[in-house]
Chains A and B, each alone.
Chain A
């Protein structure tokens, strides 16, 4: 079992749609959680950290459920520019960082 698992994708959605990404992690001692986006073969860029209380940044909402070891990202009102690969990232208690394989999103006009 992979330490961080994501929906395999790809997701193909029309502009304006709401799309949800899911992620599970296996190490219950994990301490920090993030969503990154990566455009084709470029460097990953931090989208948002994920907190137990949930957090929102504009059209993006992230949730963390420690009991279920589950992380989610919701994108509302999708834009063409949201097309990218979304990476779920977990930092363990030992300071290692584990990336999920990523979910590709295509937003079409």
Chain B
């Protein structure tokens, strides 16, 4: 089954404790992206990747890191999480053709205390 998977789905952590949210897709998509969704602010793009070893900042990259060492994986790293990073995170992927129609993972709900 074609899908985007994220792990963990739920995470409660403390300020400053490094964490990684994994994202994997099995559709051989070139493009992958991370978003956060907050009430009243909608979805905002954190980082995106056009292909292996090619990443770029979205609108809200501060406090996050990403890497794209393999085509299927695009982990999101929070080196020192803070409470303002409490949010719902979505990973997405797409082919370059068809205008980058994106398929989303189920989301990761992160709480930083």
Contacts and interface: CB of A to CB of B under 8 A. Distances in A.
Interface string B49-87: 010000010110000000000000000000000000000
- Which of the listed residues A33, A46, A102 has the most CB atoms from chain B within 10 Å of its own CB? A46
A97 interface: yes
Q: Interface extent on B, as a size class?
A: 20 to 34
Contact of A41 (B45, B105, B107): B107
A102 B44 CA distance: 12
Given A42-B106, A44-B104, A95 B48 contact: yes
Nearest to B40: A101
Given A96-B59, A98-B45, A44 B101 contact: no
Interface residues of A, number: 21
Contacts of A44: 43, 90, 104
Contacts of A33: 99
- Which of the listed residues A87, A99, A100 has the most CB atoms from chain B within 10 Å of its own CB? A99
A46 B103 CA distance: 7
B102 interface: yes
Contacts of A102: 42
Interface string B10-40: 0000000000000000000001010100001
Contacts of A34: 99, 101
A29 B96 CA distance: 17
Interface string A1-38: 00000000000000000000000000000011110000
Interface of B: 31, 33, 35, 40-45, 48, 50, 56, 58-59, 88, 90, 98-107
Interface of A: 31-34, 41-46, 49, 87, 91, 95-102
5 contacts: A32-B99, A32-B100, A43-B107, A95-B100, A99-B44
